[in-house]
Amino acid sequence: AYFTLQVIYARRKYKISPPETRGHPEFERIFRAQVNCSEYFPIFVSLLWVAGIFFHQGVAAVCGLLYLYTRFKYFQGYAVAAQGRLGPLYASARLLWLLLGLAVAGLLAHFLLP
């Protein structure tokens, strides 16, 4: 919701009416950051859910909180400059891979071990 509100504020600030997505470069970066975060959210929620159920709730929760923090930093960095998104982007990707590994390990343990 925070990211969506930032897009709304940027639309008002730069007078860009929906459904237009072009305009001031700062608006375009904020809009793109929000869309990128929205695209990855279903993947994140799915992995978080499976890792929490089949691996360990606490570990999955910590990874989830770290992921949300890195996405917040990604959004802030992208809003300032396109290069500002790279560090948090790589960190969030590593956390998604970690959640995937936890989910797979939990599923394998659940279905293969007696």
Please, what sign has the CA dihedral across residues 13, 17, 23, 26?
Answer: positive
The residues annotated with a catalytic role in the active site are 12, 85
Q: Are 7 and 31 in contact (CB under 8 A)?
A: yes
Closest to 40 (Cα-Cα) out of 20, 5, 82, 70 = 70
Q: Are 102 and 55 in contact (CB under 8 A)?
A: yes
- Cβ atoms of 11 and 27 within 8 Å: the answer is yes
Instruction: Return left, alpha or beta for 98; rule: phi > 0 is left, psi -120 to 50 is alpha, else beta.
Output: alpha
